Amino acid sequence: MTWKDHGELFVRYRKNPILTVEDWPYQANSVFNPAAAIVDGKILLLVRVEDHRGFSHFTVAKSENGFDGWEIDSKPTFFPDPVNHPEEIYGVEDPRITYIDEMKKWAIVYVAFSNSGPLPALAFTEDFRNFERAGPAMPPDNKDAAVFPVRFNGKWAMLHRPAPTIHTLKANIWISFSFDMKSWERPEVLLYAREGGWWDAYKIGLSPQPLRTPEGWLIMYHGVRQTTPKISYRLGLALLDLEDPTKVLRRSEGWIFGPREPYERSGDVNDVVFPCGWVLVGDELRIYYGAADTSVSVASAKMKDIMEYIMSTPNMSDDAPEVKKRNQSLMYY
């Protein structure tokens, strides 16, 4: 099979970045890595805001069109509560939002930064004003987590990214299951970081929440390759089976979006595009992403084009563990 370079699939909004710290109604260092949802007909972003201690919290920003005219909460919407939740002692970071129809609530999976390192934690809300914390879902070091909106054989599923304790090992995306969204079990690797010179050969992690399509669960993930002192965060796609999300059906070969513009190349952390949320508006899939850990930007693609692309990638549906790892690591020609 001859590989075709599709280039970047998402087109940047011409007035990026759409939110910067200069837009904020209170003092902060930077705004980035927003979760995204459509709530009451408006685009809602749950934006990570870093203060001048280096600790983060979340603030809601809403817009009618998702590009401008943002209404930003005048104070933090979701602030760390280390007294009642000591896992949040160093802040909360990188939320992902999933609407759970069975509960009639939004589930927010976020990184709680504890004394022992980062870990996924869960909170629920009906209005993005009042939040019910469920506490830690996984032990540290672990992050880049989101839940699916439905059960599989009676169990909820969460994607997450444990960090290996041995520095030379790779960081992969895992999946775990729970009956109650409190105790999580059956962890297994879902997507492996590739080998060698691939763009995603050092570590990978989930970006926005899983998106249901007729062909399968669409996920976007970030990949990092470290071949020099410089690293760069780029984005790829994968498709999971609708009935069994442990089965990877398709996966990007090349990256489909990466840091290119000055606001993505230079900031608190250079060469980073990091979306924690996406929304589907008609046939337009929009990703809302942190640019260089400094500001918020948006890019979009036609859903039809995204699905045509992912369905053109190699079939990886043989789910035997040794075959899965081999298929995800090989170059296709």
Per-residue pLDDT tens for 118-154?
A: 999 999 999 999 999 999 999 999 999 999 999 999 9
pLDDT at 332: 39
Q: Which class for 180: exposed (0-12), middle (13-18), buried (19 or more C-beta within 10 A)?
A: exposed
Q: Is the pLDDT of residue 3 over 80?
A: no
Q: What angle do CA 156, 36, 136 make, to 5 degrees?
A: 45
Beta-strand relationship, 42-50 and 56-63: antiparallel
For residue 5, being part of any structural domain is answered with no
Reported as a pLDDT band with limits 50, 70 and 90, residue 326 is low
Range of the domain at 191: 18-327
Question: The domain that contains 261 carries what CATH number?
Answer: 2.115.10.20
pLDDT at 197: 87
For residue 2, being part of any structural domain is answered with no
Q: Which class for 62: exposed (0-12), middle (13-18), buried (19 or more C-beta within 10 A)?
A: middle
pTM value surpassing 0.85: yes
For residue 4, being part of any structural domain is answered with no
For residue 8, being part of any structural domain is answered with no
Average pLDDT, the chain: 93
pLDDT at 283: 96
Beta-strand relationship, 105-114 and 216-225: unpaired
Q: Is the pLDDT of residue 26 over 80?
A: yes
Share of the chain above pLDDT 90, in %: 85
d(C-alpha 186, C-alpha 24), whole Å: 42
For residue 1, being part of any structural domain is answered with no
For residue 229, being part of any structural domain is answered with yes
For residue 7, being part of any structural domain is answered with no
For residue 6, being part of any structural domain is answered with no
Rounded to whole angstroms, the maximal C-alpha distance in the chain is 57
Reported as a pLDDT band with limits 50, 70 and 90, residue 169 is confident
The mean pLDDT of 206-228, rounded to a whole number, is 93
The mean pLDDT of 83-96, rounded to a whole number, is 98
Q: Is the pLDDT of residue 275 over 60?
A: yes
Q: Is the pLDDT of residue 312 over 70?
A: yes
Which pair of tokens denotes residue 109? 């999976």
Q: What is the number of structural domains in the chain?
A: 1
Residues 6 or more apart whose CB falls under 8 angstroms from that of 209 comprise 35, 96, 97, 98, 146, 147, 277, 278
Reported as a pLDDT band with limits 50, 70 and 90, residue 333 is very low
